[in-house]
Amino acid sequence: MNSPIYTLVRGADWRAAKTTGAYLGSADDTRDGFLHLSTAEQVRESARKHRSGEQDLWLVAVDPAALGAALRWEPASGGRRPGLFPHLYGPLPMSAVLSEVPLPLGENGQHVFPDEVR
């Protein structure tokens, strides 16, 4: 896969990652043993399910080719959602980040994504 993949990062965690040079993941990532990422087709639903209404959230685009063997495509845990999801077994290095944009909340309380993320 050559298309960017995405992660949703809380602002404080993203600022810390930029200082240290790598994003280590959320508490959920730590619990599960990998960083949860999404394709462009999956990320809106992930935001709705797992980060609904959260302010100071960032959409981070990642180059999957830069992650090497630490990136694995796996089913969602428990098979709750169809398809394969990108999971990163290790920290996300800043060198793999393609872009970062804040995700403001719209009037409906859902995050407003950039047009290129469909």
- The three-class DSSP label of residue 72 is strand
Query: Confidence class of residue 82 from pLDDT cuts 50, 70 and 90?
Result: confident
The predicted-structure confidence for 34-72, as pLDDT tens digits, reads as follows: 999 999 999 999 999 999 999 999 999 999 999 999 999
d(CA 116, CA 118): 6
For 84-97, what is the mean pLDDT?
Answer: 97
Other beta carbons within 10 angstroms of residue 10's beta carbon come to 16
CATH numbers and ranges of domains, the chain? 5-102 (3.20.170.20)
Token output for 95: 């060198």
Helix (H, G, I), strand (E, B) or coil at 84: strand
